[in-house]
Structure 1
Amino acid sequence: MSNKRRVAVIGLGSMGGAMAATLHRAGWDVAGFDPSESARRAAEQGGISTTADIQDLAGTPYAVLSLPSAKVVESTVPALLTAPGTIAIIDTTTSEPDTSKSMADLAASRGAAFIDAPVSGGRDGAATGSLSAFVGATEDALDAAEPVLEALTGGKYVHIGGPGSGNVVKLLNNVLAAANLVSVGEALGVAKAYGIDPAVAAASISNASGGSKVSAAMYPAWVFSGTHDSGFSLGLMARDAALAIDVARRIGEQPELLAAASMQWQDALTALGPAADFTEIARTVAPAVTPAGAPTTIPGA
């Protein structure tokens, strides 16, 4: 196998593990790192070689990052660049634009490329190579990373602009989704109070101007069913929404409606905890529309 078909996946959780498996099936020589032994063991069962020491993967031609925060990205990228050989680092983390800019500069100084490519599509998209990605990169860096991007997205990525711009648009995407989850829940709660089946109301709205992926897919699949098993945590969505507002305020913008929605996610975080599924926001904004009902402790109660 060509040396250039080697890729390291850093972070083998729900998303990273699925991306590693997708790359493996596509014929890449995949090695993975995660501090969690159970995550490494799960990846190994799928044919992925793993290590508990990230230094073992320094200099791998390609690396895909799927990490919990910008802070972890900042400590990971320098470790991967301690040995020569890196062609491109593709960061799928929902990170911060300033971090991506500094990591792109660092990689360029070592003769490598770094792109911020936060993804959308969840674990199903990661498992099937059908994610979409918001890409921030120079043209040269994008060219270097393209083989891995193609394998993960099937070409469904948009080059937003320079380093950091992918992070900005992904955060805006997430805070819009967060606000929509709240607003759809509140609207369906009103429908329920009028004696209207929320599922019927959601289906009707989804065929009209107020419809969205939230009303057409998320509420039917995960809220009305009471399964709440999307695989994306409430803690991560609350973090992303808050970060989007923070990034906006750093440049003098004051998105009041989005900020109000973000505060409702912080309330839900207090009531349900970070490990809850993100669709459980319905339990705090419209508990009557989900079989799970309201949490035991409602914020402010």
Structure 2
Amino acid sequence: MARIAFLGLGVMGFPMAGHLAAKGHEVTVYNRTAAKAEAWVKRHKGDWAATPADAARDAEFVMACVGNDDDLRAVCLGDAGAFAAMTAGAVFVDHTTVSAQVTRELAGVAAAQGLGFVDAPVSGGQAGAENGQLSIMCGGSADDYARAEPVMAAYARICRRMGASGAGQLAKMCNQIAIAGLVQGLSEALHFAEKAGLSISEVVEVISQGAAGSWQMQNRYKTMEENRFDFGFAVDWMRKDLGICLATANDTGASLPVTALVDQFYKDVQKMGGGRWDTSSLIARLRALG
């Protein structure tokens, strides 16, 4: 069993850290809002710390799941950051979805201090985190990954090293690109069914068994039918992720026309007041159009 620090206790990090504790690891948590850290300790035992540095001191692994590039820099760098307290040989594992640029920047800082660094963004949403069934895409050295993989297994359905530092983030971009187009297509199909006077449930029962079937269809069609979106992965976060995808595509020369279009559709959902709605709320935009 390992000594682990977990930084960030949002809808993903809270259950992920809980799985580590359930596996018998010695876990110390940090969260910007201390009340969440206190609540985690009350549920899972372990300890909580007032700063990332305090949480990371003497840890063999430091896991992070925060919001964006700036949040990640904040928990890593500076006198109160995790890097300031980590001992040589410890491994930092970042589960945040961020740019490959900040990943490579922080991996370089970590290497200069004798620390390991694995970028390990996740897919599977809140349900995947709670059930310990996340897909984890990793970048970093083979040695760092080999050390971290048994720890991540506590909440992984599948965990793979995709390449050098930043490769995990690039793979996560592929994930978000695929989801964006898929959810728009699903929204249009269900909206079309409504307008045509068909039963959404009956349509989904049939087409989900064929080539149109998907996780999104199976897990979101009912709430989309009922116009319920107060759960899941927020539109605000999806736009953050798609912004990273589009910026990276500009750098690499990739063409993402559908992704760019769906990003604008999500912007429309934000204007409707749906920034915190689940990404499946694209159908609400179509309904608003008539």
Q: Indicate the residue corresponding to 2:19 in structure 1.
A: 22
Q: Indicate the residue corresponding to 1:104 in structure 2.
A: 107
Q: Give the Cα separation in 2 of the matches to 1:82 and 1:32.
A: 16
1:180 aligns with 2:185: no
Identity %: 25
Q: Give the Cα separation in 1 of the matches to 2:240 and 2:269.
A: 12
Contact preservation (8 Å) 1:7, 1:28 = yes
Which structure 1 residue ranges, 4+ long, deviate > 3 Å from structure 2? none
Q: Once the 2 structures are TM-superposed, how far is the Cα of residue 280 of structure 1 from its aligned partner?
A: 2.2
Q: Indicate the residue corresponding to 2:40 in structure 1.
A: 43
Contact preservation (8 Å) 2:191, 2:283 = no
Q: Indicate the residue corresponding to 2:5 in structure 1.
A: 8
CA RMSD of aligned residues (A): 1.9
Q: Which secondary structure does the structure 2 equivalent of 1:27 belong to?
A: coil
Can you give the 5+ residue segments of structure 1 that lack an aligned partner in the other structure? 288-293
Q: Give the Cα separation in 1 of the matches to 2:85 and 2:50.
A: 18
Which residues in structure 2 correspond to 1:62-77 (within 5 Å)? 62-77=61-76
Q: Indicate the residue corresponding to 1:61 in structure 2.
A: 60
Q: Once the 2 structures are TM-superposed, how far is the Cα of residue 256 of structure 1 from its aligned partner?
A: 1.0
Which residues in structure 2 correspond to 1:264-275 (within 5 Å)? 264-275=265-276
The correspondence for 2:163, drawn from 161, 179, 191, is 161
Contact preservation (8 Å) 1:234, 1:278 = yes
Q: Give the Cα separation in 2 of the matches to 1:216 and 1:146.
A: 29
Q: Give the Cα separation in 1 of the matches to 2:231 and 2:202.
A: 22
Q: Once the 2 structures are TM-superposed, how far is the Cα of residue 52 of structure 1 from its aligned partner?
A: 2.4
Q: Once the 2 structures are TM-superposed, how far is the Cα of residue 225 of structure 1 from its aligned partner?
A: 4.0
Q: Indicate the residue corresponding to 1:142 in structure 2.
A: 145
Q: Give the Cα separation in 2 of the matches to 1:187 and 1:166.
A: 32
Contact preservation (8 Å) 2:54, 2:85 = no
Q: Give the Cα separation in 2 of the matches to 1:242 and 1:202.
A: 31
Q: Give the Cα separation in 2 of the matches to 1:219 and 1:196.
A: 14
**Residues 157-166 or 142-151, more deviating:** 142-151
**Residues 119-128 or 169-178, more deviating:** 119-128
Q: Which secondary structure does the structure 1 equivalent of 2:12 belong to?
A: helix
Contact preservation (8 Å) 2:96, 2:120 = yes
Q: Give the Cα separation in 1 of the matches to 2:46 and 2:227.
A: 34
Q: Give the Cα separation in 1 of the matches to 2:63 and 2:250.
A: 30
1:247 aligns with 2:244: no
Q: Give the Cα separation in 2 of the matches to 1:151 and 1:111.
A: 26
Contact preservation (8 Å) 1:21, 1:48 = no
Which residues in structure 2 correspond to 1:200-211 (within 5 Å)? 200-211=202-213
CA gap of 1:110–1:202, structure 2 versus 1, over 3 A, is same
Can you give the 5+ residue segments of structure 2 that lack an aligned partner in the other structure? none
Q: Which secondary structure does the structure 2 equivalent of 1:272 belong to?
A: coil
Q: Once the 2 structures are TM-superposed, how far is the Cα of residue 226 of structure 1 from its aligned partner?
A: 4.0
Q: Indicate the residue corresponding to 2:283 in structure 1.
A: 282
Q: Which secondary structure does the structure 1 equivalent of 2:138 belong to?
A: strand
Q: Deviations over 1:164-202 (max 9, x none)?
A: 111111122112212211111112211211111122222
